[in-house]
């Protein structure tokens, strides 16, 4: 066998060690599934084997679940065949894992899982198919069914076994949200039977097999009752009634996976187990074939993994390591950058105009570290060591010896030029200067540099310690060496890099801006603010556009607009909402959440409420929304962002659909259910998308007009992933 090793001891206990060759983590590939079937046959036919213990030969974990790359490739389940034969092939492929695990569960001999590391998705499902589960007592071990996070449902018995162990209500967050359990939590939930020291996990499993081994699962016994009751009991019925309503509130119907999980549990818990797993497989296939699942798997799993390994890095530049980095500006952004650098073991110089401001920036890191220590996530010694890496100062002499500088000062060309010159005076010839600007073109900022080839944009997102994306911007003269070193740095601080070319607003700020601006256009159109934001959230965006305006800060947006106006001169086009923003910022000092008043009022105690004075600035003419208007607002908000992303491709601002989609979801929270704006266009189809945008442009203006690239793709029946994806580039 390629993936398993079987050793039978003198007591007749077969130790099955799962160890996929050439991989850092065990995953469930087609060959693994085939070999599980072979193992079951040997267990049943070999009289010498009295019982079985399954464990992992990897130090990295027990099993990370299904190989989504294999699952999503080669035409998907069934190999892409059509018609009834295709459906049957897809069902057989989808049921293969369930069939293998059920065969293990009913092999007639006791089977225990010795879980010596994380067990995710199908990795937990194979453990649940064992009759007994022992897990190592280690703080880093997690047990989870995270399929819902990538638009799927657990398809190897998870939707059926977990509720039968825990009860439907208790199992719901682990199935619907992909919530993970630590070993102690799993024990309390009756998902595992024992938690023991890591070096005793196999022995404890063997002891159970030899002394108490029971080869029959609880749900295969005549006296089995579902914990908490099934759908037609008073308690169980309430779970499904309330669960359905809560699911609608949280997902707005955008995520078929969650609804299909609930359906699989509802139907499956009413029938015998063999029928239940067939129901699960049908819902698994239905979910797998949805555009949401295809987009989410590709973007949130496959593309995210590829970009997280530095797939956009120039191959001709040797690896580098940033050991010392100076951060210019100790405000919220600079302080956050200093923190993540120190957490990655990088010596950090934090510079501001006053020592007090620099110290305040370091205090931000200190507060985060205190929280980590108080929650038991870090020792005090470790926290002290991290904090010691940050040197707050006003003296640019400390920049000397830095491999990289991150400039994070105000969005002012003059201030940025000043700090660039001061820092570069201390830098070695091969050091990199990175600007954290979110809107100002890098080529223009690089004019203040004496080494424009080493000048690059490194755009973080706030709050830096929580946001996983960094947008790297190439100026006209930026070299491959600068790009490679910047990507190496981003990977070291455990962020995901995307690479874009220079433009006003680059990719993320430019496209994100269209979402908040479209909300303002609707406000100027007379649509009630509550309708705008409620529908905005219902699209799958994290907040409505007016809320998002408040979060970003109205005065920041106003300043950026004024700078853009100054730069573009006569080419700048004022929008109908401009007077509303100007009055709110300049006259009324309503800056947003940061000063407690924007489109919303933010009382110290209590929830935010819409500002009552807004109706005087933007009179409401549409106070109610029927289904048609709701759908039109949804389309306006999503398509406005997507058509801007398409323009970025046409202009060469972004060239890789993976980076466009990952950047959109991680950077500004573009509706994850779509897989990103480019996946959304591909799913709708270029032809249908162009037709919809033409109709919107006719009604609302040229901001919706499709670029020539999209029209060409519509005529040729092309997709972005087909035309610009990795396979297309490799073939070119």
Question: What does the pLDDT read at residue 282?
Answer: 95
Catalytic residue from among 138, 193, 398, 459: 459
Query: Dihedral, CA atoms, 16, 22, 23, 24, nearest 10 degrees?
Result: 90
Domains 4-283 and 324-502 share a fold: no
Q: Coil, helix or strand for 50?
A: coil
Count of residues making up the chain: 732
Provide the token pair at 223: 């006296």
Sign of CA dihedral 592, 597, 601, 604: positive
- Tell the CATH topology of 509-731: 1.10.1040
> Which residue has 């949200």 as its token pair?
177
DSSP label at 66? B
Q: Which of 264, 270, 435, 448 is nearest to 337 (CA)?
A: 435
pLDDT for residue 162: 97
CATH code of domain 4-283: 3.90.226.10
Query: What is the domain partition of the chain in residue ranges?
Result: 4-283, 324-502, 509-731
CB of 195 closer than 8 Å to CB of 187 = yes
Q: So what's the pLDDT on residue 75?
A: 43
- pLDDT number for residue 74: 42
Q: What is the C-alpha separation between 278 and 226, in angstroms, rounded? A: 19
- Alpha-carbon gap, residue 50 to 210, rounded angstroms: 8
* 3-state secondary structure string across 189-234: CCCCCEEECHHHHHHHHHHHHHHCCCCCCHHHCCCCCCCCCCCCCH
C-alpha–C-alpha distance, residues 547 and 608, integer Å: 10
2: which residues sit within 8 A by CB, 6+ positions away? 20, 21, 31, 35
Burial letters for 653-673: b for 16+ Cβ neighbours within 10 Å, e otherwise?
A: bbebbbbbbbbbbbbbbbbbb
Architecture per CATH, domain 324-502, reads as: 3-Layer(aba) Sandwich (3.40)
- Low-confidence stretches of the chain (pLDDT beneath 70): 70-83, 86, 727-732
Catalytic status, residue 131: no
How far is it, in rounded angstroms, from Cα 28 to Cα 346? 37
Residue in 505, 507, 536 with CA at minimum distance from that of residue 519: 536
């Amino acid at each position: 066998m390629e993936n398993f090793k079987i050793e039978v001891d003198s007591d007749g206990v077969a130790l099955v060690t799962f160890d996929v060759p050439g991989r850092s983590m065990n995953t469930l590939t087609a060959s693994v599934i085939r070999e599980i079937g072979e193992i079951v046959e040997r267990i049943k036919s070999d009289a010498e084997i009295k019982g079985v213990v399954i464990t992992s030969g990897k130090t990295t974990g027990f099993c990370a679940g299904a190989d989504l790359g294999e699952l999503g490739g080669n035409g998907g389940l069934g190999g892409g065949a059509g018609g009834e034969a295709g459906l049957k092939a897809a069902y057989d492929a989808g049921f293969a894992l369930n069939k293998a695990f059920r065969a293990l569960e009913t092999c007639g001999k006791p089977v225990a899982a010795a879980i010596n590391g994380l067990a995710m998705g199908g990795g937990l499902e194979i453990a649940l198919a064992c009759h007994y589960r022992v897990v190592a007592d280690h703080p880093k071990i997690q047990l989870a069914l995270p399929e819902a996070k990538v638009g799927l449902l657990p398809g190897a018995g998870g939707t059926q076994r977990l509720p039968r162990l825990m009860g439907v209500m208790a199992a719901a967050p682990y199935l619907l949200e992909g919530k993970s359990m630590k070993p102690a939590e799993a024990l309390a939930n009756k998902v595992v039977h024992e938690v023991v020291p890591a070096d005793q996990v196999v022995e404890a499993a063997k002891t159970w097999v030899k002394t108490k081994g029971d080869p029959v699962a609880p749900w295969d016994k005549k006296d089995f009752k579902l914990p908490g009751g099934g759908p037609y009991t008073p308690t169980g019925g309430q779970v499904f009634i309330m669960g359905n309503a809560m699911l609608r509130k949280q997902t707005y119907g955008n995520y078929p996976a969650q609804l299909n999980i609930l359906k699989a549990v509802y139907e499956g818990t009413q029938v015998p187990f063999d029928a239940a797993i067939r129901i699960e497989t049908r819902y698994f296939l239905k979910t797998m074939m949805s555009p949401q699942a295809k987009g989410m798997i590709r973007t949130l799993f496959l593309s995210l993994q590829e970009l997280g390994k530095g797939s956009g890095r120039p191959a001709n530049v040797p690896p580098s390591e940033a050991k010392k980095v100076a951060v210019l500006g100790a405000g919220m952004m600079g302080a956050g950058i200093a923190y993540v650098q120190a957490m990655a073991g990088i010596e950090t110089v934090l510079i501001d105009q006053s020592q007090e401001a620099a110290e305040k920036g370091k205090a931000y890191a200190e507060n985060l570290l205190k929280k980590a220590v108080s929650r038991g996530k870090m020792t005090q010694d470790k926290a002290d060591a991290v904090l010691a890496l940050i040197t707050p100062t006003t003296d640019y002499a400390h920049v000397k010896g830095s491999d990289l500088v991150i400039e994070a000062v105000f969005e002012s060309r003059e201030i940025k030029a000043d700090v660039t010159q001061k820092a570069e005076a201390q830098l070695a010839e091969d050091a990199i200067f990175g600007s954290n600007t979110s809107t100002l073109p890098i080529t223009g900022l690089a004019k203040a540099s004496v080494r424009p080839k080493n000048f690059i944009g490194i755009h973080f997102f706030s709050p830096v310690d929580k946001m996983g994306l960094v947008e790297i911007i190439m100026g006209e003269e930026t070299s491959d060496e600068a790009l490679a070193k910047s990507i190496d740095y981003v990977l070291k601080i455990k962020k995901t890099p995307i690479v874009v070319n220079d433009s006003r607003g680059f990719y993320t700020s430019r496209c994100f801006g269209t979402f908040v601006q479209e909300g303002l256009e609707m406000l100027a159109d007379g649509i009630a603010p509550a309708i705008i934001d409620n529908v905005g959230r219902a699209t799958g965006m994290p907040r409505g556009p007016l809320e998002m305006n408040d979060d970003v800060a109205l005065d920041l947006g106003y300043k950026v607009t004024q700078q853009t106006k100054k730069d573009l001169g006569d080419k700048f086009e004022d929008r109908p909402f401009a007077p509303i923003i100007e009055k709110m910022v300049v006259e009324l000092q309503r800056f947003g959440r940061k000063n407690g008043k924007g489109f919303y009022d933010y009382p110290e105690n209590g929830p935010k409420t819409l500002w009552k004075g807004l109706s005087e600035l933007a009179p409401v003419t549409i106070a109610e929304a029927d289904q048609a208007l709701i759908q039109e607002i949804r389309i306006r908000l999503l398509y406005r962002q997507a058509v801007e992303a398409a323009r970025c491709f046409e202009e060469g601002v972004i060239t890789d659909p993976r980076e466009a989609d990952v950047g959109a979801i991680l950077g500004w929270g573009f509706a994850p259910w779509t897989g990103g704006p480019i996946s959304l266009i591909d799913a709708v189809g270029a032809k249908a998308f162009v037709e919809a945008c033409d109709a919107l442009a006719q009604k609302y203006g040229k901001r919706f007009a499709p670029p020539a690239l999209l029209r060409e793709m519509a005529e040729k029946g092309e997709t972005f992933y087909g035309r610009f994806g990795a396979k297309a580039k490799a073939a070119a």
